């Protein structure tokens, strides 16, 4: 049974919204706040609660707007960074580590920019480099994606609408996870890059739990996520003084290791690890060493 989330009320533009938070691991341990992937939820790393406890880590996940049990709303890079500050304040945390998987990358790095004296270390797994800076990154975008990005920065809501409408078939297929325990789209997303992971019952169950919770409110948050991290991030990674650990699988087709190399070349303090014969689902097999590395930074 899923633990009832902690609900954090965050002021936002004269109003307030609710953010759902989940904790696992060691309650007295080193605090690490995690940005889930796209799609993803506060439960993304809950499968690793025992690993976190063994590593002396208090692992904290939260739903971005429109995912899981968080109120829907716009998603921006700097806005999500500020959510971490509000969550840390609510939980009475001082210095923290920040981690991210895949689509959470831009938000995690922005948190180090927003709170340089509070974020002691950043851990990234399978993250994309900035699309507007990495050579060749935009070559893989569809005409629909480019149409959406042309609305930025003036009209992010319109950009999210265009992205959602243009990718409706794929996004709607993801919703099958809410009703189908077998989650067939996990196979067509990851069968080539992560065959061993998706055939492991425990790992597959962890994916299904995460995705099912992520998509409780539909597909709108995925569109907002993509607009946020494919569009301009609003900061330069060269300005991040916080140490960053980068992990990539050499079989990753969603975020090839060239992204990690670009980030390692431009971040002032970064360490890149490329794991052989692993894909995008790297944390499902290597979370223990990731947590150990990141906890040592805090």
Whole-number Cα distances in Å, 231 to 17, 156, 160: 24, 9, 11
Q: Per the structure, how many domains does the chain have?
A: 1
Q: Tokens 């605090």 map to which residue?
A: 31
Task: Out of 21-25, 183-187, 251-255, pick the least confident.
Answer: 183-187
CATH no. for residue 173? Answer: 3.40.50.1820
Question: Which pair of structure tokens corresponds to residue 60?
Answer: 């904290």
Q: Is residue 1 part of a domain?
A: no
Worst-scoring range by mean pLDDT, 3-12, 32-41, 150-159, 248-257?
3-12
- 176 or 31, higher pLDDT: 31
Say if 182 falls within a structural domain.
Answer: yes
> What pLDDT, in 10s, does the model give residues 46-89?
999 999 999 999 999 999 999 999 999 999 999 999 999 999 99
pLDDT for 236 equals: 97
Domain range for 123 is 6-297
Tokens representing 184 are 């067939």
Is the distance from CB of 263 to CB of 248 less than 8 angstroms?
no
Whether residue 211 is contained in a domain is answered as yes
CB 105 within 8 A of CB 112: no
Query: At 2, is the pLDDT very low, low, confident or very high (cuts 50, 70, 90)?
Result: low
């Amino acid at each position: 049974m899923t633990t009832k989330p902690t609900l954090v009320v965050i002021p936002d533009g004269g109003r307030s919204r609710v953010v759902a938070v989940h904790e696992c691991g060691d309650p007295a341990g080193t605090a690490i706040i995690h940005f889930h992937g796209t799609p993803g939820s506060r439960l993304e790393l809950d499968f690793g609660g025992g690993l976190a406890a063994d590593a002396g880590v208090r692992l904290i996940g939260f739903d971005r707007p429109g995912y899981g049990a968080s109120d829907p709303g716009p998603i921006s890079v700097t806005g999500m960074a500020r959510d971490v500050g509000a969550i840390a304040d609510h939980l009475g945390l001082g210095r923290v580590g920040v981690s991210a998987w895949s689509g959470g990358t831009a938000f995690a790095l922005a948190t180090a920019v927003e709170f340089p004296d509070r974020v002691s270390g950043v851990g990234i797994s399978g993250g994309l480099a900035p699309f507007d800076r990495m050579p060749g990154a935009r070559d893989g975008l569809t005409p629909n994606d480019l149409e959406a990005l042309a609305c930025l920065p003036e009209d992010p809501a319109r950009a999210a609408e265009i992205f959602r409408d243009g990718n409706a078939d794929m996004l709607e297929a993801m919703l099958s996870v809410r009703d189908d325990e077998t989650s067939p789209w996990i196979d067509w997303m990851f069968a080539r890059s992560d065959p061993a992971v998706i055939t492991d019952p425990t790992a597959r169950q962890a994916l299904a739990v995460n995705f099912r919770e992520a998509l409780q409110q539909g597909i709108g948050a995925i569109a907002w996520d993509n607009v946020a991290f494919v569009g301009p991030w609003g900061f330069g990674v060269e300005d991040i003084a916080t140490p960053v650990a980068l992990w990539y699988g050499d079989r990753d087709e969603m975020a090839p290791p060239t992204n990690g190399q670009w980030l390692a070349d431009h971040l002032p303090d970064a360490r890149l690890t490329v794991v052989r014969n692993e894909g995008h689902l790297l944390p499902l097999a290597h979370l223990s060493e990731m947590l150990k590395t990141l906890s040592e930074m805090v």
